[in-house]
Amino acid sequence: MSTRPLAEVQAHLSEICSEIATTGEPVEIQCEGQPNIVMLPADIRYADAEMTRKILGSPENEKSLREAVERARTGEGMLTMTIDELCKSVGMHGSKV
């Protein structure tokens, strides 16, 4: 993601919009005296960003996600099995992997 000053974006808005549409890469805009903003394609990337914002916007969801990440990082609750055991557990007896 590139970062550009607001004045540059204002002066070259059409070109920057074409670049974002072509490459799919967002552009961070530096806004003096205000938080930076990001321009990105309005298709799937926006939907993903909106979903992430909603998930992390909930204190309960954020807590659950952080706890799950920590469990995954430490290996808590992880199962260890061989390929043969995995195949048997999903009903693929005698299958070749």
- pTM over cut 0.75: no
What pLDDT is attached to residue 97? 52
Let me know: does 49 contact 43? Beta carbons within 8 Å: no
Q: Bin 80: left if φ > 0, else alpha if -120 < ψ < 50, else beta.
A: beta
Q: Which residue has the higher pLDDT, 44 or 39?
A: 39
Q: What is the CATH number of domain 2-41?
A: 3.40.1620.10
pLDDT tens per residue across span 55-96? 888 889 888 888 988 988 888 887 788 888 888 888 887 655
CATH 3.40.1620.10 segments of the chain:
2-41
Q: How far apart are CA 24 and CA 27, in angstroms?
A: 10
Let me know: does 39 contact 26? Beta carbons within 8 Å: yes
Quick one: average pLDDT of 18-43?
A: 90
> What stretch of H or E contains 53?
helix 44-57
What pLDDT is attached to residue 95? 52
Quick one: average pLDDT of 38-48?
A: 81
